[in-house]
Amino acid sequence: MNAEPILLCADREGVRTLTLNRPHRKNAISRELWIALRDALIAAGDDRSVRALVLAGSGGAFCSGADIATPDPTHPTYKLRNLTAVAELLHNLPIPTIAKVDGVAVGAGWNLALGCDFVVATPGSSFSQIFVKRGLSMDLGGSWLLPRLVGLQQAKRLTMLAETIDADQAHKLNLVTWVVAADEIDGFVDELTGRLASGPPIALAQTKALLNEGADRTLHDALANEARAQAANFATGDAQEAFAAFTGRRTPEFTGRWAVPRPTSENTEVEK
């Protein structure tokens, strides 16, 4: 009998859910799981039918971090390439991403959640930048993410003391977007992803990129990027659809389709 996959993938109404599936290790990410996650993120970014992505864990945990207990002869340089690829792919994914956290989110597991656009957690969830307790420094983008989310001093507190905090504390620090009861989190995430998946895909992708890029750009850069993004938005049918739906008092149906008329032979010069 074949073993159950270490990464589960399910699609529903434009929403793809990737579930880390190593419950016996609290979903600690092995080399094989890093590779599977990397490949799954590439596939999600290339599939235009996917309008939102959810990351979750099985067996009552989100992710206990990288699996450092399982022997792996791979040189750390090569190991970290997979981690780096996952962090960059998640950050650059042109669709909204949601971490659904129920249980522990530790080390790279917590930074995996923080790499998502939204984090929904249950009251019983716990979080730790546990790295220094393992004689390590942070990875998976933690050194970039945390100071931007909580400020430098709180980032130092979380990483240098490696404290474990609960969902309420994480929410107060802006590290969790919503805290939802365990028996309500599935419905909450379904409703949230439904709203995101029905939104204008190009405008959402541009908005996400602008906010991500704006974290370390000048105002001049941000304005130039906004102008570039808005031009791309106006070239889709979604802006026209939104106006038509508003005037028609109906719900818009966004597709992200290109809506600029194609040149005709009458107004196109043929290169000779």
Is there a single domain that holds both residue 154 and residue 222? no
Is there a single domain that holds both residue 95 and residue 124? yes
Q: How far apart are CA 17 and CA 8, in angstroms?
A: 8
Provide the residue range defining the domain that includes 161.
Answer: 7-197
Q: What is the pLDDT of residues 112-140, one digit of tens each?
A: 999 999 999 999 999 999 999 988 898 99
Is there a single domain that holds both residue 56 and residue 171? yes
User: Rounded mean pLDDT of the chain?
Assistant: 90
Residue 270: per-residue pLDDT: 41
Cα–Cα nearest to 56, from 154, 175, 182, 146:
182
Q: Are 42 and 89 in contact (CB under 8 A)?
A: yes
The answer to the question of residue 21 being in a domain is: yes
- Which residue in the block uniquely carries the two structure tokens 């997979």? 82
Is there a single domain that holds both residue 165 and residue 211? no
Q: In angstroms, how far is CA 198 from the centroid of its own chain?
A: 17
What number is the average pLDDT over the span 37-63? 97
Cα–Cα nearest to 139, from 85, 83, 204, 183:
83
Q: What is the pLDDT of residues 227-250, one digit of tens each?
A: 878 778 878 888 888 878 878 889
Residue 1: per-residue pLDDT: 46
Q: Are 120 and 180 in contact (CB under 8 A)?
A: yes
Would you tell me the crossing angle of helices 76-92 and 31-46 to the nearest 10 degrees?
Answer: 30
pTM (2 d.p.) = 0.87
Strands 52-57 vs 97-101: parallel, antiparallel or unpaired? parallel
Percent of the chain with pLDDT over 70: 96
Residue 28: per-residue pLDDT: 96
Is there a single domain that holds both residue 126 and residue 223? no
The answer to the question of residue 262 being in a domain is: no
The answer to the question of residue 100 being in a domain is: yes
Domain count, the chain: 2
Is there a single domain that holds both residue 160 and residue 239? no
